[in-house]
């Protein structure tokens, strides 16, 4: 695109080639921008809609907690609904995903939670927020996601609400 722009600005090309290159440049630019701004799959689902959903549903429940399996779902929801964002689980220490350093957490005054049991505490209602792709990648490795497996062992799935590839799953404690 830079070369085409240079050719157009320096002139000297026959008019049909100049017009053709200008049209090619305009179509390529428009197509790129449309694709960029309309892309809503991983990792760009409609976080604002998910945040509004969580805000509308979790505020009705005094005994509920919102838990994100990753900081990748937590921070966008925190941006749209800071009072509803809940908590997020820590990345596995030393893994490639472990990128949120303790000094950064201190500066932001936002801290991860080490375990799903610590995040749930005594709550009877949990909204678990995760990417469906995250769960698929873990299961393709032949293991269960620890947070999801723990939730399924200790809670009953009430409903799942998808926001493209972002899932907000509501769980209720299966026994008192």
Residues in a beta bridge with 166: 131, 163
0.85 cut: is pTM over it?
no
Buried-exposed string 117-150: b where 16+ CB fall within 10 A, e elsewhere: eebbeebebbbbbbbeebbeebeeeeeebebbeb
CA distances from 155 to 17, 64, 122, 128 (A): 66, 13, 12, 11
Mean pLDDT of all residues belonging to the chain: 86
Instruction: Answer whether residue 68 shows pLDDT above 90.
Output: yes
Say what angle helices 71-80 and 47-58 make with each other, to 10 degrees: 70
Instruction: Answer whether residue 61 shows pLDDT above 70.
Output: no
142 Rama sector, left if φ>0, alpha if ψ -120 to 50, beta otherwise: left
Q: What is the mean pLDDT of residues 78-92?
A: 90
Instruction: Answer whether residue 41 shows pLDDT above 70.
Output: no
User: Per this entry, what is the length of the chain?
Assistant: 176
Portion of the chain with pLDDT greater than 70, in percent: 95
The string of pLDDT tens digits covering residues 1-19 is: 777 778 778 877 888 888 8
Give the C-alpha separation, 130 to 166, whole Å: 6
Cis peptide bond prior to 48, omega within 30° of 0: no
Give the C-alpha separation, 100 to 161, whole Å: 28
pLDDT on residue 12? 79
Instruction: Judge whether 25 and 4 are in contact, CB under 8 Å.
Output: yes
Residues ≥6 apart with Cβ < 8 Å to 58: 64, 66, 84, 86, 127
């Amino acid at each position: 695109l830079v070369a085409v722009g240079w050719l157009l600005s320096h002139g000297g090309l026959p008019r049909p080639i100049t017009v053709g290159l200008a049209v090619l440049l305009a179509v390529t630019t428009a197509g790129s921008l449309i694709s960029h701004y309309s892309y809503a799959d991983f990792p760009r689902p409609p976080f604002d809609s998910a945040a509004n959903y969580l805000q509308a549903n979790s505020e009705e429940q005094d005994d509920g907690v919102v838990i994100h399996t990753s900081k990748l779902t937590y921070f966008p929801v925190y941006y749209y609904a800071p009072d509803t964002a809940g908590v997020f689980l820590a990345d596995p220490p030393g893994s490639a995903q472990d990128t949120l350093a303790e000094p950064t957490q201190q500066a932001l005054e936002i801290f991860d939670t080490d375990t799903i049991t610590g995040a749930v505490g005594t709550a009877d209602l949990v909204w678990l927020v995760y990417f469906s792709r995250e769960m698929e990648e873990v299961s393709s490795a032949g293991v269960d996601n620890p947070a999801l497996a723990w939730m399924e062992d200790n809670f009953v799935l009430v409903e799942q609400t998808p926001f493209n590839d972002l899932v907000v799953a509501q769980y209720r404690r299966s026994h008192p």
